[in-house]
Amino acid sequence: MNRTSVSAKAAVLGTAVLALSVSASACASAPQQTGGTTTSASAGGAGAYTWWDPYPQHDPASAWAKRVDTCGKQAGVTIQRTAYDTTALTNQALLAGQEGNAPDVILLDNPAVSTLADAGMLTTMSDFGLDTARFDKNLIAAGELDGKTYGIPIGANTLALYYNKKILDAAGVDPGSIKDWATLNAALKKVKAAGKKPITFAAIGTEEGSFQFLPWFWGSGAQLTQLDSPQAVAALDLWTTWVKDGTAPNSVISNSQNTTWEQFLTGEFAFAENGTWQIDSAEKAGFPTGIVQIPGKDGGTAPTPTGGEFITVPVQKDTKRYAVTKKILECMTTPEGLVETGTTFAYYIPSTAEGQQAILAKEPGLKPWVDAVKSAKGRTSDNLGTKYPKISEALWTGVQKALSGSATPADALKQAQAQAKQATGG
């Protein structure tokens, strides 16, 4: 892809990226900063390979920074690592594409991969010479656009229902009995009858709200290409009913995932929808906890959205650099490398079957999360690509309208579908 075409497309896409602030969906508890900070002790030098990632919270002494440096050393080079927050990283990457000075490696939150790919900035993995067959198909799909793969996942996280075992025991609820929406509702009614708060979740009017709604939306059989389908209405009706009858608090309409988790840690709620990134916090809670998979409407595990980053390789004028870049990527994605990354971030689930087996050998308690990731789905999958942020905004707007009572679920989603259709050009 020549520089002119990258510049033209990047200029168009730049404004759309501002709407796709998704870092909270993947690693909600991580502190962020807006500027780029070079954090690697091995920075500099004409032979250095440049690496950008969305982890400004990890300084040069962190396990993550050391991990990146180690892969550089194994490839025989030093790595100059620069960290931005997620939105700033994507915008900075588009700017670098326009100016023709993109870094060698960019670690991107998965929904942003299609944005940079559509701008002509990224090398396909097939052109780069990296075999992607070993990565789970449902996970790598988030890095695909028009049948081509533009990155590889370093791991994944997703959502489930955490529960307070003390409350469930007192209410006579067996978490193993939750198999579908009917049995979940039965459990929530028992909790409410016992005088406790049944469930909390995040329905804030941002990407976090869509992220948390998607398991229910997909679990009903709905598709993002038709926001007002009967299945989609059923999912929003479920959430709306919970708020109306007090099963969930009114605060969900403004809850972020962090706020939801803080509510759960008070010990007052039986269930909270949250992610893999809360594993350590759950273990330190003042009460026993567990998780159940979010159920599909009629049974089975609902597809949950994947969070997590992809390693991508920007187009370089000097294609000879790719040989070393490939060594860096291979170091990051060996089974051992995926496990090291997974435990560094407490926890990412490895994106390959071999990596998953390896992390379970070390942390057998992660099995429910491995199962959840296996059934998860990328938000930009189904070839939605750069359409996803516009569809997502329409979806969270519809959810807000229904939960606030300003529209019925059916009307709210009818308006959302019209908004998405107009925004995406049909």
Rounded to an integer, the average pLDDT of 188-217 is 97
Structure tokens at 129: 């010479």
CB-count exposure of residue 128 (10 Å: 0-12, 13-18, 19+): buried
Higher-confidence residue of 12 and 286: namely: 286
Percentage of residues of the chain with pLDDT beyond 90: 83
Give how far Cα 256 sits from Cα of 203, 209, 244, 247, Å: 7, 8, 20, 18
pLDDT reported for residue 11: 40
- What 3-state class would DSSP assign to 51? strand
Phi, psi of 424 (to 5 degrees): -100, 0
Question: Is the CB of residue 247 less than 8 Å from the CB of residue 196?
Answer: no
pLDDT score of 27 more than 80: no
Higher-confidence residue of 252 and 12: namely: 252
pLDDT tens digits for range 175-198: 999 999 999 999 999 999 999 999
CA 353 to chain centre: 19
Alpha-carbon distance 120 to 100, whole Å?
12
Question: Is the CB of residue 326 less than 8 Å from the CB of residue 129?
Answer: yes
pLDDT tens digits for range 247-283: 999 999 999 999 999 999 999 999 999 999 999 999 9
pTM listed for this prediction: 0.87
Who contacts 29 (Cβ-Cβ below 8 Å, separation ≥6)?
A: 258, 261, 277, 278, 281
CATH code of domain 3-157+307-374: 3.40.190.10
pLDDT score of 295 more than 60: yes
pLDDT score of 44 more than 70: no
pLDDT reported for residue 10: 40
pLDDT tens digits for range 313-361: 999 999 999 999 999 999 999 999 999 999 888 789 999 999 999 999 9
Strands 197-200 and 269-275: parallel
Percentage of residues of the chain with pLDDT beyond 70: 89
Instruction: For CA atoms 316, 319, 323, 324, give the dihedral sign.
Output: negative
pLDDT reported for residue 37: 52
Name the amino acid, one letter, at 342.
Answer: G
Alpha-carbon distance 212 to 28, whole Å?
12
Q: Which of 264, 269, 295 is nearest to 282 (CA)?
A: 264
Name the amino acid, one letter, at 380.
Answer: T
Where do the structural domains in the chain lie, given as residue ranges?
A: 3-157+307-374, 159-304+384-424
pLDDT reported for residue 38: 52
Q: Do domains 3-157+307-374 and 159-304+384-424 have the same CATH topology?
A: yes
CATH superfamily of the 159-304+384-424 domain? Periplasmic binding protein-like II (3.40.190.10)
